[in-house]
Amino acid sequence: MNQQIIEYLQTNKTQYTKESLVAQLRVAGHGENDINEAVNMVYGDMSVAPVNEQPVKYAGFWIRWVAAFVDGLIVGIASLPLRLLFGIVLSDMPSAINSILQSVIGFGLLWTYYVFMTHKYQATIGKKLVGIEVRAVDGVGKAALGNVVIRETVGKLISAVVLYIGYIMAGFTSKKQALHDMIGSTVVVYKDPQKKTNTAVIAVVVIVVVFVMIAIIGILASIVLVSLNSARGKAQDASFKATVSSTVPMAMICMDENQNILPPSEYAKMCKMGTGEEYIWPMLDETGEWGTLIDGNVADGTFAYTAEFAESGLTATCTQLGCEFSDESVY
C-alpha cells in the first residue's frame, strides 16, 4: 500500500473532491491499484471512477462572455422587483445608507446565485446554455465548495479591480483560466468537447432576453412617469386650493367702511379694479386670472367669487366663510 498516496488523500480530502484527487494522482502517474487501495483506506470504499479518456477542451474568453452576459440579464431581471421593493422600504433612510444597503443586497443576490449554481450544477444558467461548466483545476473533478466560494466572491472582485483585466486573462492563459479561476483552483471546460456550440441559438436567446428586459424597463418607466405626473398635478391642485383660500382674508383688507371691496390703494395693493361692477383678482396661473368677484358687499353676507385652475379643471367658489372646491381635477 502506497503510504504517500494515503497521506496525500488525507491532507487534501477536505479541500478537494475525491474524484478531483484521484484525477490528480492519475496525472502524477500513480497506478490504479495503488490509488484504489489508498481510496479504500481513506474513504472506506473502492468506488473510483474509471479513467476519463475524453480530452478536456477549455472554454475561451468569448464563449464565457456570452454565458456571463446571459447570467447578467437573468440576475438583473430577477432582482429588479426586489430592488424596487427594497428601495420603497428603505426610502426613509438617508440616501447614503440607502445606496449602501441596496448595493449589499444586490451583491448578496448575485453571489448567492453564482455560488449555488456553480457548486450544485457546476454551471450557471448562462454556462448551461452554451455547454460549459466549472471544474477542479485538473479539468475532470468537481470543484469543492470552498474553492467555488473563493472563486465567485474574492476571486471575481480581484479580477474586476483594474478594467476587468482578470477576466480578459481567460483569452491568453494555457488553460483559458481567468484570474478568479487561478485563485479558486478551477477551470472552465466544455461539458461535451465533441459537441459543436450552436451560436445561432445563443444569439437568438440573447436577443430575446434583451427585448424582454427592454419591455420590462419600459413598463416600469411608464408606471413611474404616470405616478410622478399624478403627484405633480395633485401638488399643483393643493397649491391652488391653499392660495385661493388665502384670498378670502386678503379680500377683507380691501374693504371700505361700508364693507365694500376697494380698488387699489396705498394700504391694499392686492386689490385690482375691473370694469363695471366686476372686480378682477390677481393672476391664478400664467394664462388666467384668480377669478371674478360676483358680489363685493360683505355686509349682507353676499360676498362671493369664483376661480378656476385651467390646467386641471379644478374650480373654487368662495365666500367670507371659506371656499368649496370641485372634484373634477384631471389628476
SS3 286: coil
Extract the C-alpha cell encoding 319.
Answer: 365666500
| Locus of grid cell 391664478 | 284
Q: What is the pLDDT of residue 322?
A: 77
Extract the C-alpha cell encoding 55.
Answer: 480530452
Q: What is the pLDDT of residue 55?
A: 74
Q: What is the pLDDT of residue 5?
A: 83
| Locus of grid cell 397649491 | 239
pLDDT in tens, the chain (331 residues): 678 888 888 888 887 788 778 877 876 767 777 888 888 888 876 555 554 455 788 998 888 988 998 898 888 888 777 777 777 776 677 777 777 877 787 788 888 999 999 999 999 999 998 889 999 888 878 888 999 999 999 999 999 987 889 999 998 998 999 999 999 999 999 988 777 766 676 677 667 777 877 888 888 888 888 878 888 878 888 887 887 777 666 666 555 555 555 544 433 344 544 444 444 444 333 333 444 445 545 455 556 667 777 677 788 887 777 788 887 555 5
- Give 309's Cβ-side CA count (13 Å radius): 24
Cβ-count burial of 301 within 10 angstroms (0-12 exposed, 13-18 middle, 19+ buried)? exposed
| Locus of grid cell 450544477 | 121
Q: What is the pLDDT of residue 300?
A: 54
